[in-house]
Amino acid sequence: MALATRAELKPKIAASYSFARHVVLLHFITLGAIGAALASLRALEPVELATVPATFLFASFVEYFFHRYPMHHRWPLMGFLFSRHTVHHHAYFRVDSMKVEDDRDMRFVLFPAFACLLVIALAGGGAALLGLALGRNVGLLFLATATLYYLVYEWFHASFHLVATERLERIPFVGSAARRHRLHHDPERMTSINFNITFAIVDRIFGTMADT
């Protein structure tokens, strides 16, 4: 598909958009949910801490699945994901123009602030089921870890577009993730490589990770 240009998309940023407000809302909601979940833990057993890496791995699969499929292909009832990600984000940021011109451009980088409420609600549903099956603490740790993974996703993705990739590459781990993300923004390769924004766990498993 033919992607629009940055000049064509920039006027679509609402005059009311505020990156600062967006960041405050994102952190207020996510950190509040994480803090509330952790504060509710009672008599935590060491074995229950296994929930954290298990949830981390699960979240990596979710990130990969949604990024590779509904965010890059039109799926019934999920067209808004394709529109926001491929039609707007990938058109606005290309492999040779990854950095924002000003902070209002972050409108095309971060998910809407309300998206974190949806993530927390979905994670809360999973937490409730896990709590019934495996205990209250497991459910709470699942909720806290899943929410933190979402927040880390936003941190990484924001940094990839706020800071030039050449500068990020000086930072261990973050630099390699930024480089992979820039390669993903090649319109010819965006549907075939580097779907993990954060940790390339599932990209490695399915052979879709590319460093060059």
Nearest CA to 34 out of 144, 129, 112 is that of: 144
CB under 8 Å to 43, separation ≥6 — which residues? 137
Tens of pLDDT, residue by residue over 92-129, are: 999 999 999 999 999 999 999 889 999 999 999 999 99
Nearest CA among 74, 64, 79 for reference residue 184: 64
Q: Where residue 1 falls among pLDDT bands split at 50, 70, 90? A: low
| pLDDT of 55 above 70 | yes
The reported pTM is 0.94
Q: Are 209 and 65 in contact (CB under 8 A)?
A: no
- Least-confidence region, from 81-90, 131-140, 146-155: 81-90
CA nearest neighbour of 97 among 210, 182, 179: 182
pLDDT digits (tens, 9 = 90+) for 136-178: 999 999 999 999 999 999 999 999 999 998 999 899 999 999 9
Q: What does the pLDDT read at residue 88?
A: 93
Whether the per-residue pLDDT at 2 is higher than 80: the answer is: no
Give 175-184 pLDDT, tens digit per residue. 999 999 999 9
